[in-house]
Amino acid sequence: MTTPKFKLLLATALTSMLLLSPAMAETLRISYSGDPKTADAQMTSDSYTLPLNIFDRLVEAETTGPGVSALVPGLAETWGVSADGLTYTFHIRQGVKFHDGAELTADDVVYTFDRMLNPATKALGTDILTFIAGAQDRLDGKAETVSGLKATDTYTVEITLTQPYAAFLALLASPQASIYNRAFTEKAGDQFGLTPETTNGTGPFILSSYTLNESEELKANDTYFRGRPKLDGLQIRVVSDNETLRLLFESGEIDVFDLDYAPSAAPYFYGSDQWKDQIRSGPRVGIYYYNINQAKKPFDDVRVRKAFQMSIDRQTILDKNYYGRGKLEDGVLPRGLACYTPSTPIEYNPEKAKALLAEAGYPDGVEINLEQASSWSSQWSDMYQIIQAQVAAAGFKATIITTDEAAFLAARKAGETNAYTQVWSADFNDPDNFFYTFFSESGSKVRAYNNNDPEVFAQIEKARGMTDPEARCKLYQDLATRVVGEDAAWVPLFSLDHSYVVQPRVKNFVVPWNGWSDMSYYNVDIE
Amino acid sequence: MLMFVVRRLLASIPVLIGITAILFVMLNVVPGDPVALMMKEHASPDVIARVRAQMHLDDPIIVRYFSFLWNALQGNMGISIKLNRPVTNLIAGAFPNTLMLAAAAALVSWVIGIPAGIISAVRRDTVVDHLFMGFSLVGVSMPIFWSALLFQYVFAMQLKWLPVAGFYGPKYLILPAIVLGWSSAGVIARLTRSSLLEVMRHDYIRTARAKGLREGLVITRHALKNAMIPVVTIMAIQVASLLSGAVITEAIFGIPGVGRISVDAIQSRDMPLLQGSVLFATVLVILGNLVADILYSVLDPRIRSQMRKGGAS
């Protein structure tokens, strides 16, 4: 650290403290529990508010109703798919400008996807593009370009896949598929997305300030191709403490309070005369579930897994721990997802569970571990204790093992976990996002299900390429019956509503279709 | 004096190297993969393996350690795995914020603690003494997360005198400085009181009084200087500790300081950032102790004389 540099930084910090006001007029003030780290959607896997507001995608998943979405044109005005399902042709909107004034062309699309597949980028979201022909060679460093990506003219992009993939269009609506400008991004290099000077998109907002671990500020893009946003700006404050967040909201310093960050505050807001009409809720197209590791005893026995399913009183947990704000799920797909159909309800029957355990050779019960990470929500921690007590009635002597998240992930990767809970909200509106994630050969291993059923693996791979929607959905329904009903490979719990409390001045706030905390604020307004 | 400082600084080099080695070994023994942590539930074995190889995280530990050490000796602490920014820039960016908080907290602590300790000693066993010591006991005992919440609720939410959290102007420092400073002031007050009471039992204080000096002069000219020796030590160490980052205070009040970076580095197993943070904190502690020793010599001529003779302190 050189002395002049340190003096400059100290002076900057002092000056910014004196001059900066907390927010501009007509600025929506929201919060994040942790710093998003970057605006570069290719370099993150869990913070998408910046990409969703600074960039656009070829297609967008528009929220058309609670938990419902439709794919609409984004940067691509129209598109077509070849009869064999392999070639997608996108016609780019003409006249769309990046924040630096450069015009969007097909070459930018080709560049963006090539950048993600370029091993030098070290991108995290490459899975969304691996279906493209030549993608694997590019990732492996065997090719300098991606053979399946072509700009056939200034405004036309052709993408060729290695096999038909029904979810490809839906994937292109996910934030990882945000489109960048070639010239600017190449020049910014590894600084892209880290500062306002090195961030450039086509989106409704422009990154104007980025202070790590403090806040980011975005200002309205006056020349946005869909029309200027109603807001003048967005201020995203990093607030890691739940109580501080609640105080900030109640004192009027923040406009939107995401109840996911402080779920224990939900009863207060729902019961408050001041706030109950300011709550905005929407279903979350996501599922809370209990993982079961079949590679570890006693869960290698399907009877034990079924007993575990039957010994959890999910309705009571939903009612007491989550204030009844959600619905039980019994399959793999949550409500609202494409191909969703109700599955056979999982019975809560601790007596029957006990009998199954005895049949499996555990008449006196069996010890299991329930693993959790200390950084997870306190409501999850409460749920663990509830489940520990519930499954005891069936004979499961559960020990709750709490570690930090790094140790938990390491244990899971090593296949050492017994059972843990998690939630998965849809990245894109397709059943592949759930089945492949959990029960494909790689998903089953990396998430420590070890549901090593070659037929299930084959069916999941087959479903990816099916082009007949009805047949595809039928296949997923059969898979759900097998995986959940017959194999008891996991315990589906429930899908929960996602609730926010907003200040009275906030208008047009809509919970996104998938119930994410990350969303676009383009349509939001302030009175 | 100069030789003393040089000797102390040279002696700290093996300490720093030792700490980097211990940290390196610990982070490789403790479970956790920084790439898997970045991807969390979106973990894909292929992507994790590829990114780890690209970041040289699978190189032999000896190779990685000496590569890090060589770069560190040239002032390059590497790039944060999670934040993808130079570690030196991250710490240099956060430190001014921590410095401001530490300076404000230290000021609160000294302005409250030292006078409270002096008054308590002078008014020993009176109501004033019990009041001040009770106040300091509460400051020492109350967890910072609790006092922070209390202050936020009373002064920000109810009275609306101050902001709840954030770091946008001088007034945003007031609450966190009071929360941190109150805790430190308690220690300073109690130590000042006990040290002053000890010094005031000495014969030369009795002699000073016998000479007819006013009590105020006896305390300020004769007693306080010697009584401050242990207090100065604690003050220097407290400042060093504050400069390393008050993690809880920074998290509650939303101050982007060194403490939050350090905790983030641990949780995300970000080796370069953790090495940089720990090294930085170690340097501060070493400097803090050195400053305390130098102040000792300023206050106590016996120690100054020893230093001149080259004796270890």
Q: Do B88 and A1 touch (CB under 8 A)?
A: yes
Q: Are B63 and A134 in contact (CB under 8 A)?
A: no
Question: Could you say which DSSP state residue B157 is in?
Answer: I
Q: How far apart are CA B251 and CA A239, in angstroms?
A: 7
**Phi, psi for residue A501 in degrees, rounded to 5:** -110, 130
Interface test with B, best of A21, A242, A409 (most B CBs within 10 A): A409
Sign of CA pseudo-dihedral B84, B88, B89, B90:
positive
Cβ neighbours of A411 in B, within 8 Å: 31
Q: Do B100 and A422 touch (CB under 8 A)?
A: no
So what's the pLDDT on residue A11? 56
For residue A20, pLDDT beyond 70: no
- The mean pLDDT of A465-478, rounded to a whole number, is 94
Closest-CA distance, A6 to chain B, in angstroms, reads 7
Q: How far apart are CA A45 and CA B38, in angstroms?
A: 7
Which one, of A300, A287, A211, A292, lies nearest residue A515 by Cα? A287
- The mean pLDDT of A407-416, rounded to a whole number, is 91
Q: Do B169 and A445 touch (CB under 8 A)?
A: no
Q: Do A119 and B261 touch (CB under 8 A)?
A: no
Higher-confidence position of A470 and A2: A470
Q: Do A45 and B94 touch (CB under 8 A)?
A: no
Q: How far apart are CA A318 and CA A324, in angstroms?
A: 5
Q: Do A241 and B252 touch (CB under 8 A)?
A: yes
Selected residues 41-60 of chain A with any CB under 8 Å from a CB in chain B: 43-46
Question: Could you say which DSSP state residue A422 is in?
Answer: E
Selected residues 216-255 of chain B with any CB under 8 Å from a CB in chain A: 251-255
10-residue stretch averages of pLDDT, chain B, 313 residues long: 82 86 84 86 86 87 87 88 92 92 93 93 91 90 91 93 92 93 91 91 86 84 84 86 84 91 89 89 85 79 69 46
Which one, of A142, A146, A143, lies nearest residue A158 by Cα? A146
The end-to-end CA distance of chain B, in Å, is 11
Q: Do B45 and A21 touch (CB under 8 A)?
A: no
DSSP β-ladder status, A366-373 and A396-403 = parallel
The 10s digit of each residue's pLDDT in A134-183 is 999 999 999 999 999 999 999 999 999 999 999 999 999 999 999 999 99
So what's the pLDDT on residue B312? 45
Tell me which residue in A122, A248, A410 faces B55 most closely, judged by beta carbons: A122
Q: How far apart are CA A246 and CA A240, in angstroms?
A: 11
Residues 6+ apart with CB under 8 A from B172: A17, B163, B165, B166, B253
Q: How far apart are CA A237 and CA B103, in angstroms?
A: 24
So what's the pLDDT on residue A8? 57
Which one, of A109, A84, A87, A111, lies nearest residue A160 by Cα? A87
Confidence at A64, pLDDT banded by 50, 70, 90: very high
- The mean pLDDT of A2-27, rounded to a whole number, is 57
Confidence at A213, pLDDT banded by 50, 70, 90: very high
Which one, of A490, A466, A463, lies nearest residue A477 by Cα? A463
Is A471 at the interface with chain B, CB within 8 A?
no
Q: Do B168 and A17 touch (CB under 8 A)?
A: yes
Where do runs of H (alpha helix) occur along chain B?
A: 2-29, 34-39, 45-54, 61-73, 87-122, 127-141, 144-151, 171-199, 203-210, 215-217, 224-243, 247-253, 258-267, 271-299, 301-309
Percent of chain A at pLDDT above 70? 95
Place of tokens 């009998």: A355
So what's the pLDDT on residue A15? 52
So what's the pLDDT on residue A19? 45
Q: Do A122 and B47 touch (CB under 8 A)?
A: no
Element (H, E) at A520: none
Cβ neighbours of A213 in B, within 8 Å: 94, 256-257, 260-261, 264
Place of tokens 């967008």: A60
So what's the pLDDT on residue A256? 97
Confidence at A18, pLDDT banded by 50, 70, 90: very low
> CA Rg, chain A, in Å?
24
So what's the pLDDT on residue B313? 43
Structure-token pair, residue A119: 């091993």
So what's the pLDDT on residue A52? 97
Cβ neighbours of B84 in A, within 8 Å: 37-38, 43, 190, 194
Closest-CA distance, B89 to chain A, in angstroms, reads 8
| ipTM for this model | 0.83
Q: Do A1 and B252 touch (CB under 8 A)?
A: no
Interface test with A, best of B57, B77, B167 (most A CBs within 10 A): B167
Nearest CA in chain B to A16: B168
Q: How far apart are CA B196 and CA B231, in angstroms?
A: 10
Selected residues 236-265 of chain A with any CB under 8 Å from a CB in chain B: 237-241, 243-244, 247-248, 250-251, 253
**Phi, psi for residue A49 in degrees, rounded to 5:** -60, -40
So what's the pLDDT on residue A9? 57
Q: Give the residues across from A421 on adjacent strands.
A: A290
Q: Are A494 and A288 in contact (CB under 8 A)?
A: yes
Q: Do A214 and B94 touch (CB under 8 A)?
A: no
So what's the pLDDT on residue A13? 56
Q: How far apart are CA B250 and CA B63, in angstroms?
A: 36
For residue A5, pLDDT beyond 80: no
Q: Are A343 and A330 in contact (CB under 8 A)?
A: yes
Half-sphere exposure of B189 (CA within 13 A, CB side): 29
Burial letters A474-510, b for 16+ CB under 10 A, else e? ebbbebbebbbbebbbbbbbbbbbbbbbbbeebeebe
Closest-CA distance, A292 to chain B, in angstroms, reads 16
Q: How far apart are CA B254 and CA B248, in angstroms?
A: 10
So what's the pLDDT on residue A496? 94
Closest-CA distance, B188 to chain A, in angstroms, reads 28
Query: Cα B283 vs. chain centroid, distance in angstroms?
Result: 11
Model-level pTM greater than 0.90?
A: no
For residue A453, pLDDT beyond 70: yes
Tell me which residue in B97, B152, B252 faces A13 most closely, judged by beta carbons: B97
Largest interatomic CA distance in chain B: 85
The end-to-end CA distance of chain A, in Å, is 47
Q: Are A317 and A483 in contact (CB under 8 A)?
A: no
So what's the pLDDT on residue B44? 83
Q: How far apart are CA B64 and CA B56, in angstroms?
A: 8
**Exposed/middle/buried for residue B13 (C-beta within 10 Å: 0-12, 13-18, 19+):** exposed
Higher-confidence position of A457 and A378: A457
Cβ neighbours of A14 in B, within 8 Å: 96, 100
For residue A511, pLDDT beyond 50: yes
The average confidence (pLDDT) of chain A is: 93
Tell me which residue in A13, A127, A253 faces B164 most closely, judged by beta carbons: A253
Closest-CA distance, A400 to chain B, in angstroms, reads 19
Closest-CA distance, A91 to chain B, in angstroms, reads 31
Confidence at A431, pLDDT banded by 50, 70, 90: very high
The 10s digit of each residue's pLDDT in A232-286 is 999 999 998 888 999 999 999 999 999 988 888 888 999 999 999 999 999 999 9
Q: Do B45 and A407 touch (CB under 8 A)?
A: no
So what's the pLDDT on residue B310? 59
